[in-house]
Amino acid sequence: MRERLSQSNAEDLRELMLRIYQRHPSHVLDVLDLPSANQDAGQPTPDPDRTAPAWCRCSFCREMPTDVENLCCRQTPQNCHSRLRDFETIVLDELVLEVARRYREDMFGLQPDNDFNKCNRHAAYRQYVLWIHGHLGAGNRRTIPSCCVLRIRDKYPDPLGHYVGFIDGRLG
């Protein structure tokens, strides 16, 4: 792959990037995150009030109850998944979540949950996984980065602060 890319001209590479962006916008964040020759070598400093764990790169993560949940989006603070406009729209927007919940309820014959925050929180988790990983299928789970879980829980909190956390797939 490296050889083929090194033989491509700049215009071909631009077209390739646009095709990748159209199919999987989140993958382009990794490319945008690469240091460029005209950028300062230093990364912006995180907010000094924040105490991000050593495993966090974006500076917005916090320690979670289990090791498997201690996951970062691996982006710079400017490109943290939880701070992107797409995250606001796809994952946190109430109308988007309502449509996603109704679709899921219709597809699986489920009864609506009366706990607004709980059902929006769970719909937001599903939206994030769909946005970043695509459809996974039954029992195939992915851990959501701490920074994203915290934004979702902040917008749709449990009144008692009780959260289930990541549960591995029933088929895994």
pTM confidence score = 0.70
The reported pLDDT for the residue numbered 27 is 62
Q: Are 156 and 150 in contact (CB under 8 A)?
A: no
Confidence (pLDDT) at 42: 43
Task: Decide: helix, strand or coil at residue 108.
Answer: helix
pLDDT of residue 13: 78
Q: Mind listing the pLDDT tens digit of every residue in the chain (172 residues)? A: 677 778 888 888 788 777 776 666 666 665 665 554 444 444 444 454 568 999 999 999 999 999 999 999 999 999 999 999 999 999 999 999 999 999 999 988 988 888 999 999 999 999 999 999 888 777 778 899 999 999 999 999 999 988 888 877 665 4
- Domain spans in the chain, listed from the N-terminal domain onward: 55-155
Q: Residue 54 is encoded by which pair of tokens?
A: 């050593």
